Structure 1
């Protein structure tokens, strides 16, 4: 089974005393810890009432979102939970899952405040996981957001077993659309029905007032905002061509102002627009070409970055001792 754990107001509930103690245990000096303490404890907050700031409230815990230091401090604090899970796994109290016979068990994956915990579907593992989460909550103040958390079971798990474990964990079964961190945990054979990239881009483009934008401004929005929305997904999955074509069609229509008037004329093809500037294009990239380039980066990692955990996993599962190149 896999537990998708989401933390409730993750940055706002981190206890300062816990974080400072963790920094001390990591070997940070007292001067540095004092600087960090001053940074996280001195900000004050006000409320906007009828457009005017009101009040001057000083918080007693939490990390200010938007502060460039906050993500690093949060990761240092959340690493305690990762080490706690590793310790119970090493003691044999938690059994992770094996993706490949030649690769160690995987007990959890952590990305900022999103956590996936893997284990065999039995009450012993469930109780161990609850103990770890309860201990971490008592130390750090981080609580589980039960409305956004859930459990995924293997298709071979008996229905009554999954129901009992959900009751024990106080979690519901996760829906197929649940994401971690930005990809669905389950993909249908038709990827186009599992991914909402087209809707995201269409909604973003629809919010821009093209009547008030020059074509230079549209190019900037396409290259810096709209075209970057599917980047993470494209670095992990090879998208169907139908999705790539629909994304390109949406961006192409925005570039020419499609929808503003019935009889709009496109004087240049999208393929020509996506040519390099030295060849008369505008330097944009077609979605399919970008997808191929990002996937090829994964191939480069397989060939040149053998020390990465994900590379070792992929080689163990798919190559099985055969050299990549």
Structure 2
């Protein structure tokens, strides 16, 4: 309820700005060939004013914000606010900042996690985005994540990080390649020095238990108890399942009936390998329902 009430009150600030423009107390910036006037943008409790660089606007803006404070009871924290200008003399900018009791900001800057200003076609301008993805991946590196878990994190978290930036700027191909490389290495469990997934063909040259293929180590080390219970420790990947129509079904033979705890381990094993299907060209990864084809090479 409180956020809703705040938005209702914040709408009063919007009405004050519109009335000030009508009475020519504020002069907005006009954008594009149609000269669309823009005075401010509001997001929750964050507001950006976009006005012509004019002393009248500075004076009117401060009066308007003080009036809003007296009417609504919501005070503007000028100490946390920033004044950013384009093409204004440094001394004039300092005078205006002093009048508003705010600090001076500079372009490019980050606003709500999105970079504003700078050259969008410059690779260096996108370094913050690559670093943000790298830092997020680093925070997960020591966690024991399954392939399904990595797929979920790539699609739900990593791919969403650049969304707002891409809404208004074209990303350079080099940066896109770097991001896809980070996504791919994280997905396959590798790092900058290694690739931990091997191309297996139809699975008839790779051993199910003793070779590295589904994760970054042989499955016999991930599931030692199941390895001891399997009837064929030298079984190949292509022999460890069968086609049922157009669907590949993984199937491993055991020396005896499995106990309840062991059945739980089998379920975990099958979840791990479920994303892989032998094919005539290369062991391919199932794209649906979780994985995007952008990561398949």
User: What is the TM-score normalised by the length of structure 1?
Assistant: 0.57
1:230 partnered with 2:162: yes
Q: Secondary structure at the match of 1:213?
A: coil
1:197 partnered with 2:129: yes
C-alpha RMSD over aligned residues: 3.0
Q: C-alpha distance in 1, partners of 2:285/2:66? A: 55
> Do the aligned partners of residues 190 and 102 (structure 1) sit closer, same or farther apart at CA in structure 2, a change above 3 Å counting?
closer
For residue 77 of structure 1, what is the aligned residue in structure 2?
Answer: 9
Q: C-alpha distance in 1, partners of 2:92/2:51? A: 14
Equivalent position to 2:66, from 134, 141, 148: 134
For residue 268 of structure 2, what is the aligned residue in structure 1?
Answer: none
Q: Secondary structure at the match of 2:47?
A: strand
After superposition, where does 1:215-254 map in structure 2 within 5 Å?
Answer: 215-254=147-186
Q: Which protein has the larger Cα radius of gyration, Structure 1 or Structure 2?
A: 2
For residue 165 of structure 1, what is the aligned residue in structure 2?
Answer: 96
For residue 291 of structure 2, what is the aligned residue in structure 1?
Answer: 283
**Larger relative contact order (Cα-Cα within 8 Å, sequence gap ≥ 6):** 1
User: Once the 2 structures are TM-superposed, how far is the Cα of residue 180 of structure 1 from its aligned partner?
Assistant: 3.1
User: What is the TM-score normalised by the length of structure 2?
Assistant: 0.62
Whichever structure has more helix as a proportion of its residues is: 1
Unaligned runs of 5+ in 2: 201-281
User: After TM superposition, which residue ranges in structure 1, 4 or more long, deviate above 4 angstroms?
Assistant: 272-276
Unaligned runs of 5+ in 1: 1-39, 41-62, 64-69, 288-325
After superposition, where does 1:286-297 map in structure 2 within 5 Å?
Answer: 286=294
Q: Secondary structure at the match of 1:79?
A: helix
Equivalent residue pairs, number: 213
User: Once the 2 structures are TM-superposed, how far is the Cα of residue 129 of structure 1 from its aligned partner?
Assistant: 0.5
Q: C-alpha distance in 2, partners of 1:211/1:182? A: 26
CA contact (8 A) 2:26 2:60 kept: yes
CA contact (8 A) 2:150 2:187 kept: yes
User: Once the 2 structures are TM-superposed, how far is the Cα of residue 96 of structure 1 from its aligned partner?
Assistant: 1.1
> Do the aligned partners of residues 273 and 97 (structure 1) sit closer, same or farther apart at CA in structure 2, a change above 3 Å counting?
farther
Equivalent position to 2:18, from 86, 89, 103: 86
Q: C-alpha distance in 1, partners of 2:143/2:85? A: 50
